Amino acid sequence: MAAMVLAACGGGGDGEDGTTSGGATSAGGTTQPTSGPDEPGTSGAATTAMLSTTSTSAGPGETTAGTEGGETGASEGETGEATECADNCHYIRGGANGGGGDWEDALPALPEVLERGHVYFVAAGDYPGYVFDDPEAGDAEIRVLRASAADHGTEVGWAAAYAEGEATFGPLAFISGRYAVDGRAAARSVGAFEGTVVDIAGDAVRFAGFDVDGAFAAQDGLHVGGSCTAMSIAGDDVVVAGNRIHDAADDGVTIGGVARLAFTGNVVHTLYGCGTDGGCGQCYNGHSDGLELFAVVDSEFVGNLIYDMTSTSAVFFGNWADELGMGPEDYCENVLLANNILYSPETGFVAYIEDARGVRLINNVLWGLHMGAYGGLSIGTHVADLDMYNNAILSINYTHIGGMYDPAEHRGDYNLFAYSLGQWQDGPHDVVAVDPLFMGISGGEGPAVDAPTPADFTPQVGSPLRDVGYAGDADIVVPATDFFGAMRDETPNLGAIE
């Protein structure tokens, strides 16, 4: 592992049109975040299909189907293959007081020491937070699985009610590596005040199927409950898939000093922009980003839905590596973003890219609201080897954070822009259209949608997104399937959905 994230998100400032963007400066910034909304009811890296015992890998640019609402699509035991137990399975059930040998004799919580090569089935119930810190032993993995009707190990003492409802934990931290934890869309981790809900510092951790709940609470404009950050990732060879990550005071996911991360099929939403800069609380600095990337290499972000950010952006690259880090050695490098839906009408920009080499944006949606020169993608300094194809992007702004278009380093075509600001050199197949005719999302003039679904971004009949995309070549690999797993043909749609 390399350096940890040094600071919270940056970006923002005064705009060319005289307005102030929804973003804010990084260290020492003074822009105050607005109040948050009410709580709502690879190239070079293989994507593992959740935590399946017969896990599949995707080639460069390919992906498994995206998820809606954080549900996993191929968890263990849901594919028809039950986990095999050979005296290495243990059983956890809230309220029990046994030794863990079967469901009748279940443990009341995960034991303090977990055994390598063993499986821990967890029934519905309430459990304390847990620190995964068992010494590693070669490649031996520890698996923690939400017990399901289809896969729960032994039948001794099993009751159908154990698969119903959620298994709810406090904060989870992975200090050592080689764990596979799958909540199977029926598990939750709830954050503690001013902490991190799920902290992944170990290598080779696979984490899927959880509701990662920051549990933010405010009173009289002050942060009084819930976590600063929903998830932090600082380990190499980590897979985070099919989770719902939400309701944190500051960032959704901070990612720093990692290699070969696969972040796929997650939903990140409802971040409140509450921290030190706004006088709202002690979270530094309270400028919310859905994903904040720093020194991330050889990694992929595929099939994710990110929305409802207060303050900065859905995705933020760079984190001012030259000012706060080790300079070029902390730049992001070789990062794929494909089939993602990034929707952030509340912020000045949907995404920021700077201090990055080898970023590929393929078949994404980056959408917000038109605010003069604001509302889309901001590209800053030290951006090299950038490829952008088949995206639907509100607009591209270079001047906001000091970037400059470089035709030798910034390549792209077959994109739709709602507005051309004259700062990106439109390719021969780029399309400019204020309204792409999404199924449930308006064009660049709004109105905004508070709780969008992926289907809202489906192109309607007559949409300029339909059947005009690039099929790819040896250098630009277009994902074979879309956000929902539908196959693409030789004339794919622009954006994330066929």
How far, CA to CA in Å, does 367 sit from each of 270, 309, 341, 376, 496? 16, 13, 8, 6, 12
Distance CA 482, CA 464 (A): 17
CA torsion through residues 425, 428, 429, 434, sign? positive
Q: β-strands 217-219, 222-225: how paired? A: antiparallel
Rounded to the nearest angstrom, the gap between the alpha carbon of residue 91 and the centroid of all alpha carbons in its chain is 31
Q: Looking at residue 81, what is its pLDDT?
A: 79
How far, CA to CA in Å, does 216 sit from each of 38, 125, 187, 246, 260? 10, 22, 18, 9, 31
End-to-end CA distance of the chain: 38
Residues 6+ apart with CB under 8 A from 185: 70, 71, 72, 75, 209, 242
Low-confidence ranges of the chain (pLDDT < 50): 1-79
447: preceding bond cis by omega (within 30 degrees)? yes
For the chain, the farthest-separated pair of C-alpha atoms sits apart, in whole angstroms, at 69
Distance CA 197, CA 192 (A): 7
Asked if 200 contacts 288 with a C-beta cutoff of 8 angstroms, the reply is: no
* Residue type (1 letter), 496: A
* Residue type (1 letter), 75: S
DSSP E strands, 242-389: 244-248, 253-259, 262-264, 267-271, 288-302, 305-309, 311-317, 332-338, 341-343, 351-353, 356-362, 365-367, 377-379, 383-384, 386-389
Nearest alpha-carbon partner for 148 in 165, 131, 136: 165
Cα-flanking dihedrals φ and ψ of residue 126, to 5°? -105, 135
Nearest alpha-carbon partner for 230 in 99, 70, 420: 70
Q: Looking at residue 458, what is its pLDDT?
A: 98
Nearest alpha-carbon partner for 199 in 221, 181, 184: 181
Token digits for 25?
A: 């400066």
What does the DSSP 8-state code read for residue 129?
-
- CATH number given to 47-71+140-145+165-457: 2.160.20
Give 239's strand partners. Answer: 206, 262
CA torsion through residues 69, 74, 79, 83, sign? negative
Nearest alpha-carbon partner for 496 in 425, 391, 422, 400: 391
Distance CA 17, CA 317 (A): 24
Give 217's strand partners. Answer: 225
Q: Looking at residue 324, what is its pLDDT?
A: 72
CB neighbourhood size of 300 (10 A): 27
Residues 6+ apart with CB under 8 A from 335: 293, 296, 297, 298, 299, 300, 301, 317, 356, 358, 359, 360
Distance CA 8, CA 33 (A): 14
Residue with tokens 């490649």: 139
Q: Looking at residue 319, what is its pLDDT?
A: 63
Q: Looking at residue 16, what is its pLDDT?
A: 33
Contacts 24+ apart (CB under 8 A), 456-462: 457/341, 457/343, 457/365, 457/367, 457/495, 457/496, 457/497, 458/497, 459/493, 459/494, 459/495, 459/497, 462/437
CB neighbourhood size of 329 (10 A): 11
Nearest alpha-carbon partner for 119 in 67, 199, 169, 51: 51
How far, CA to CA in Å, does 178 sit from each of 118, 121, 160, 388? 12, 17, 30, 34
Q: Looking at residue 345, what is its pLDDT?
A: 95
